[in-house]
Structure 1
Amino acid sequence: MSLPIKAFIASTPNSYKLSIFLELLKLKYEVVPVDLSKNDQKQPWFLKVNPNGKVPTLHDETNDIKLGESGAILLYLADTYDKERKYSYAPGTKEYYKMIEAAFFQVGGIGPAVGQSIHFKLIAQEKNPMAIERFHIEIKRLLTVLEEYLKRNKEEYNSEYLAGSHLSIADIVHIGFIPYLKVCDVPLNDFPGVLKWAQHVLEHPEIRKGFTIPRKSTLWDDNLASLD
């Protein structure tokens, strides 16, 4: 049976943002697996949905909307389906803008830095020590900033989350990248605030389930276990 909400995803940190949020919202959705090893994301059938050829991508037939870019997708889902604002904040509020700030920090900072680190360490055929060191240092700097976000939010809201008083998009966009820090040789024990936050966020069963969609990953199992 075809469902109106279709999630085009692969087993990647960015894709997990979508699967996790859909699980938290308890929405019925159809998973459209995208095989990156076969370059599915560059095929005409996929480019019709997302001309940028990237995952995750959302097609909500209910509202006839197709979206790429994980941040835009999560904001759309929040505005459309999180009417009680359990995992987001109402636009115009202080908490909303702090959530957006933290989410954009991930999209423009931690996400690209972790991606580049993994590329130069594991994927690139020719190793570039300068590039490897550059992104290693940058990840540690960004985690220091994340520690400060957590500290300030704790002081203002007495909360263990990144923005405001409850779990939100700010946390969802970050958590998918945390297990990959082990791959980047960045010990999370060096950042106790981030470690405590990650352990707290992973207490949500919907988030754990999101990491198994579209398929369960042994890599993720190993690295998530290291956070328990």
Structure 2
Amino acid sequence: MTTAIDLYTWPTPNGHKIHIALEEMGLPYNIHAVDIGAGDQFQPAFLKISPNNKIPAMVDPDGPDGQPIALMESGAMLIYLAEKTGQLLSSDPYQRAITLQWLMFQMGGVGPMLGQTHHFRAYAPEQYPYAIKRYTDETTRLYQVLDKRLGEVAYLAGDYSIADIATWPWLRYWDRQGQDMNAHPNLKRWFEAIGERPAVEKGLQVLVERSRKQPFTPQERDILFGAKQLDRRS
């Protein structure tokens, strides 16, 4: 019997990546909610697992050679889980490289840039027109890259893979990013197909009751974006 993975998470795009992957791969897991608005990510016990105080993070009691392993960084976790199960990451060197290429595109481009777009359009305490335009335009460019790629293949690496799982949650709120999904028909086709997968639907239910429905309070904003990011680490 497979030992359950302990997953430390919150219902964010990066958290949903791992929820979806675990569901797709059929791995058992225990959820440990890390309320990032309340500052749970700065607790000493969590920092031992995730030194960068970010979710998601996980502990697999049945790691390499049967030894426990703690991991942070969602991209590293996706690769680890794919290799552990032999799923969603091809063993063929060419196909593996293509998959990792698009995974890194998400990690280095889609996640950081769309995250900044969300921040300056919705969370920044003041409106900064230059920042809003700069990141919204870059988000549009990334959508165009994805749309072009998905006009050539069904999924980012050809077959459904961890690259798709990594990217999809970041596009759920395309309207908040100043985007029109109808302007990217290939991307829209891909987005809707993935959204209909049972494992994706189930993964999105993890901690759904804790999903943000109200604006950040001043205290939460300070914890997430302000001086407390440094104060809590000192």
- TM bucket normalised to smaller: 0.7 to 0.9
Identity %: 36
Aligned to 1:223: none
8 Å Cα contact 2:117/2:136 also seen in 1: yes
Unaligned segments of structure 2, at least 5 residues: 214-234
Which residues of 2 match residues 1-150 of structure 1 at below 5 A?
A: 4-63=4-63, 64-81=68-85, 83=86, 85=87, 87-90=88-91, 92-150=92-150
CA shift at 1:29, angstroms?
Answer: 0.7
- Give the number of equivalent residue pairs: 206
Q: Does residue 162 of structure 1 match 2:166?
A: no
Secondary structure of the residue that 1:36 maps to in structure 2?
Answer: coil
Aligned to 2:167: 174
CA distance in structure 1 between the partners assigned to 2:133 and 2:25 by the alignment: 39
8 Å Cα contact 1:149/1:162 also seen in 2: yes
8 Å Cα contact 1:114/1:180 also seen in 2: no
CA distance in structure 1 between the partners assigned to 2:70 and 2:207 by the alignment: 19
CA shift at 1:76, angstroms?
Answer: 0.2
Unaligned segments of structure 1, at least 5 residues: 155-159, 220-228
- Quote the RMSD (CA, aligned, Å): 1.4
1:183 to 164, 176, 182: 176
CA shift at 1:194, angstroms?
Answer: 0.4
TM-score normalised by structure 2 residue count: 0.84
CA shift at 1:151, angstroms?
Answer: 2.5
CA distance in structure 2 between the partners assigned to 1:149 and 1:103 by the alignment: 13
1:197 to 178, 190, 198: 190
Secondary structure of the residue that 1:176 maps to in structure 2?
Answer: helix
CA distance in structure 2 between the partners assigned to 1:208 and 1:17 by the alignment: 12
CA distance in structure 2 between the partners assigned to 1:214 and 1:58 by the alignment: 16
CA shift at 1:117, angstroms?
Answer: 0.8
Secondary structure of the residue that 1:161 maps to in structure 2?
Answer: coil
For residue 182 of structure 1, what is the amino acid of its counterpart?
Answer: D
CA distance in structure 2 between the partners assigned to 1:57 and 1:72 by the alignment: 10
Secondary structure of the residue that 2:58 maps to in structure 1?
Answer: strand
For residue 90 of structure 2, what is the amino acid of its counterpart?
Answer: Y
For residue 93 of structure 2, what is the amino acid of its counterpart?
Answer: T
CA distance in structure 2 between the partners assigned to 1:133 and 1:171 by the alignment: 27
* Large movers: runs of 4+ above 2 Å: 214-219
For residue 177 of structure 2, what is the amino acid of its counterpart?
Answer: C
TM-score normalised by structure 1 residue count: 0.86
Aligned to 2:218: none
For residue 156 of structure 2, what is the amino acid of its counterpart?
Answer: L
CA shift at 1:207, angstroms?
Answer: 0.5
CA shift at 1:161, angstroms?
Answer: 1.0
Secondary structure of the residue that 1:66 maps to in structure 2?
Answer: strand
